Structure 1
Amino acid sequence: MQEVAAIEIKNLAIGLPEMMEYGDGKKMKTAIRKKTVNKVFLSKESFHGDGVADLKHHGGPDRAVCIYPYEHYALWEKEFGKPLPTSAFGENVTATKLTEDEVYIGDIYRLGETVIQVTQGRVPCHTIDRNLEGTPLLKAMVRTGFTGFMCRVLKEGFVTADSKLELLEQHPQEVSVLYTNQVFFHEPKNIEGIRRILAVAELADEWRDKFETRLDKLLASR
């Protein structure tokens, strides 16, 4: 089990949808450009003052909190040769020692006054590239599985920039975010992998539906 004291919040951010210009004068409504805050209330739905523009693909109780590993920033900055802004991936919490290979679906963490639970990997979209002026991070995130992850809120409360983030309960089935990303993005016909993921009761409903649909089609085609 990881050292609790080693986890550190590097940035806490929220943001509501606003018009963003990108490319050659194009515009879109998005909440990816989040602003750093010192204190914010986290409800079952989201951080207060936080929101999404695309309700079909983002938001909801299973995706109330987005966390991205701080360690990946150095990797991407080196790969693409440019500095990245804070909350570059639209995450609410940028934290150390929470990479996808060591975080399991169903893990429970204390975040300030709140308690949160990991539900799924984050599904990156083209908005990330548009926000970062065409830097092709979308494909790189999918290739590596370094997507960050989403959480539901088990207990509401305030979170501050200097809050403690600590592991309360590690899920016994040990299905990592990185593993679910690998199967989701790169192994669409991995029946045993899909079954292993579906065995985790705490998996986000949307991902459960997608994996169940995929499994049904695979079994039907046998």
Structure 2
Amino acid sequence: MPSQYGQFCPVAKAMELLDERWTLLVVRELMLGSRHFNALRRGLPRMSPALLSKRLHTLVRAGVVERWEDGNRVTYRLTESGRELEPIVDALGRWGIRWIPELGDADLDPHLLLWDIHRNVDTEAVPDGRTVIVFSFPERATARRWWLVIAADGVDVCDVDPGFPVRVTVQADLRTLTRVWRGDLAWSEALGSGAVLLRGEPQACRALPRWLRLSSVALTPRPGGSPQPVAAR
């Protein structure tokens, strides 16, 4: 059961719905364009299918999410009420990256990182035709290699070799690449120090930071006036 605070305060009433675990992350996924159950699961890989179904049902019942059926295809999208949460979720992300920067080992997830990266590819900057980027995390015992396949019909993430020629291989430990994605570490610094290695076509290696746009909160100013990574041009 959702928490019942017993207060007329609008903040308390809102939190009776929103402070259940995973709820705002489901809203985040819908904000980022996920429309179907399997896509939502890929953006929330550690959330059980049963709990995701339960949270979606609660949000639909509350009028935050709409559920549409087209034959066997079910689509979810934010309602006007849900869309009004977008600046709130965005502000939480910016607050979190400013004031809670620490990353534990349990926070690092190659599946989620590659899923986030694939949503931010600048497809207009990538050459025509198919471009395949391999991400290699040598320190990991499992899930060490991932493939990003960029084509005219979209971008996909694979955890098995799709069998296409590779244009660029990105080698780094998972923490380093996560920090680059979050904007904690600039591409130039990561590449200059050797923490990230690029192998493949020279022109593609030079262009890669422009292809992979950073997290939407990456350029958020940090406390203390520390310099922020400059977006690749």
Q: TM-score, normalised by structure 1?
A: 0.27
Q: Which has the higher strand share?
A: 1
Structure index of larger Rg? 2
Q: Which has the higher helix share?
A: 2
